[in-house]
Chains A and B, each alone.
Chain A
Amino acid sequence: MALDEEALMWVEKYRPRNLNEVVDLRDIVESLKAFLRTPRTMPHLLLAGIPGTGKTTVALCIARELFGQNWKTFTLELNASDERGIDTVRDRIKDFSRYSRAGFGNVPFALIILDESDQMTGPAQTALRRIMETSSRTCRFILICNQSGKIIEPIQSRCAIFRFSKLDKKAMVDQLECIAKKEKITLSPEAAERIVEYSEGDLRHAINALQTASVFRDGVVDEKTVLQVVGEASPKQVQVMLNKALNGDFIEARKVMYELIGAYGFSGSEIVRQMQRELLKVSYLSAEQKAELTNIIGEYDFRLTQGANSDIQLSALLAQFAKVGKSKGESN
């Protein structure tokens, strides 16, 4: 790793550099290795799965295995959610496939990694499909997404699809302990369990939590520190907003919503997604009430995609919550 200056975020520092180091993805790794033995025949790849399960890591490993130390020269990393519009994507891919002079050793193509490709709209994906066709002689694509269902079928049919499922708890604990050892910190087994539990199969979250916890008490991480970190790092404002709405205080809830949109630049769908997650943690609602509220969230999540102003949809959603909250208060 002479070329990389040493990474200080542990998720980067301990990101596997080759496929053998990848945790808990034996089947996927084996099939990929088969492709890499004869790169000429490697198809486009579609890596799908929940966050923090190693999709980007695997893609970067493939790049390294194909091109060795010079991988950056032959790899274009794009993030669909950062690039505005398919035109930018198209231009960057075009430029890249023109200048990369496709080919390194026995690899007759350059690699394009398109992360979060399910964030692209249908028309953008159609354009992407065309780009994939026209540049197929010189480029291979690795598309990464959370939900393969959001990728249009013509693209899916052009790719070999790999599904990444939630990481195994044991493997995650092992990984955390391995990092703790290298970083010379003391990680109690309960603490490791806790981190893994809260991370819900997302290794990136687990490692970030571990690193954060390690600064609390000079490298001693116990259960208490973990709870503290998890508590502080979880989305507070959404929780606050949710509770205010559920207590029937619509106006205060809306204030928090405007702060989330205004000061932090959260989009409507992000807030809705977090609301849904936070709702499940609310202790004073019954399972039936949560189910009912989840239905309402679903409806407004859909309206968000149809409507023109996300803050109106969110306000309306909060008003529905306030109603349920009020009636709950009255029935008690």
Chain B
Amino acid sequence: MKDDFLWVEKYRPKKIAEVVGNEEAKATFVEWLKNKRHTKKAVLLYGPPGVGKTALVNAASNEFGFRIIEMNASDTRTEKAINKVAGPATSFVALDKFSTESKGNLLFLDEVDGIAGNEDRGGVSAIVKIVEESRVPVIMAANDPDLEKLRPLKKVCALIRFQQVRIPLIIAMLRRICIMQHVEAEFEALERIAQNSRGDVRSAINDLQSLAEEKRVLTLQDTMMLSSRNRDISMYETLKGFFSAKSLAEASTLLSRSSVDYDDLLLSVSDNLPLRYTDSRELAEAYDLVSKADVFRGRIGTENWHLLKYFFNCLAQAAAVAPQSCKSFELISPPIRIITLFWTKGKRTALATICAKIGARCHVSRETAKHDFVPFVKIMLEKQKSNPINSWLKLELEEVDYLVKMGKF
């Protein structure tokens, strides 16, 4: 059943009723569009991706006969660019009003949280201005309405919240699509696709198409290759998942989805490893693999990114050394090294200066000074604080003090 269309396009809702889930949000939106758009000029629809925000706007305008003028994140949104598109659209409303088949224009700004601070200088304030001056309704959509920069927008528009679509609704919808595509699907297969989508209808349809497109039958077995969508996972989530992974495959999938900094990840894994593996044999084995991962990290450097898969491979292996001993524990973060280096910077520089002075006097490097001289000089100064060697080495009083009080290597 090869299709020329993406199923998400083919089965895009034409009517409001066809939009799956989020009934409350839908009702609020329709109410606004029908009756309140003159009192409150703008709405902001917010919620996770793929839950039907854009679909609802399209379906509603289709049903009520609005013409949509759309901008989304792929357009540049400097003040100038916004005014160029939105300006005419919002002021020519008067002319359109005379047209019978159209209720007029709707300005739809999709993905407004994609407005970046620098590139779209003035973007947010331009939108606020447009909302204030516009004579047509303005609809905005965003994934994360809490972003600081969108704050000015919240003041001028009504907020409508969208949530993840419930799994049974997604299953029912997938079923309808299967019937229309003449695919015989096991319920468990559709259930797995729906669950895997985490309430994202769009991704569920995409997954269904990729799995079932050339088949007549879809079984649970077919969905095993399915993996969750790439969502950015934070360091905490990554570590949590890493240390509770039950298998090599699970750990690899998790790592490939995570987009945290590799060095931070490596250090955090290293810090937490002894908490995960309390048996010294397991710990040694896991650490050996983390060490190999670090070797690959070193080889990757700044350019050999094709080696990244080997880095992940070693790290994933380290997660799966002993699945049976897995239990939860309190994660250490931030990395011990960073904390240690932060607190001890003063000490380190003090010692480095002393070593430089010894080195200059005794024709040795700072390293040699640290190893071959500092321990002896320290003892001499401990025994006789006024030993003349300190003035010969040009040590300040504080430095003498530091050496005397310093712990031994």
Contact = CB atoms under 8 A, between A and B. Distances in A.
Interface of A: 5, 7-9, 11-12, 51-52, 56, 60, 77, 79-82, 115-116, 119, 202, 204-205, 208-209, 211-212, 215-216, 229, 232-238, 248, 250-251, 254, 258-266, 270, 300, 303, 306-309, 311-313, 315-317, 319-320, 322-323, 325-327
A5 to B, nearest CB: 8
Nearest to A318: B287
B294 A308 contact: yes
Given A116-B368, A216-B383, A315-B270, 13 more contacts: A12-B363, A80-B365, A209-B376, A235-B409, A237-B407, A237-B408, A251-B274, A264-B347, A264-B348, A309-B267, A316-B270, A317-B291, A320-B288
Given A212-B379, A248-B280, A322-B280, A81 B291 contact: no
Nearest to B289: A316
A40 B408 CA distance: 49
B290 interface: yes
Contact of B383 (A8, A51, A215, A308): A215
A170 B398 CA distance: 41
A60 B283 contact: no
Contacts of A326: 280-281
Contacts of B55: none
Interface in B267-315: 267, 270, 273-274, 280-281, 283-284, 286-288, 290-292, 294-295, 297-300
A77 B363 CA distance: 8
A79 B365 contact: yes
B364 A56 contact: yes
12 contacts: A9-B393, A12-B362, A79-B359, A81-B367, A216-B383, A250-B274, A259-B407, A264-B351, A307-B291, A313-B294, A316-B287, A320-B288
B372 A204 contact: yes
A116 B368 CA distance: 10
B347 A263 contact: yes
A265 B351 contact: yes
B304 to A, nearest CB: 12
Nearest to A315: B270
B352 A308 contact: no
Contacts of B348: 262-265
A115 B368 CA distance: 11
Contacts of A303: 291-292, 294-295
A18 to B, nearest CB: 16
Interface of B: 263, 266-267, 270, 273-274, 280-281, 283-284, 286-288, 290-292, 294-295, 297-300, 336-337, 340-341, 343-344, 347-348, 351-352, 356, 359, 361-368, 370-373, 375-377, 379-380, 383-384, 387-389, 392-393, 407-409
Nearest to A208: B376
B130 to A, nearest CB: 49
A233 B377 CA distance: 9
B298 A308 contact: yes
Contacts of B283: 250, 319, 322-323
Contact of B281 (A258, A263, A316, A323): A323
Interface of B, secondary structure class, is helix
A116 B280 CA distance: 39
Contacts of A7: 361, 392
Given A215-B384, A215-B387, A326-B280, A51 B297 contact: no
Contact of A312 (B274, B290, B300, B363): B290
Contacts of B370: 264-265
A270 B270 CA distance: 21
Contacts of B408: 232, 236-237
Contacts of B299: 306
Residue among A235, A309, A319 with max Cβ neighbours from chain B (10 Å): A319
B362 A11 contact: yes
B344 A82 contact: no
A309 B409 contact: no
B340 A236 contact: no
Contacts of A248: 280
B340 A258 contact: yes
B17 to A, nearest CB: 57
Given A79-B365, A81-B365, A237-B409, A208 B373 contact: yes
B366 A308 contact: no
Given A56-B363, A308-B298, A211 B380 contact: yes
A309 B292 CA distance: 11
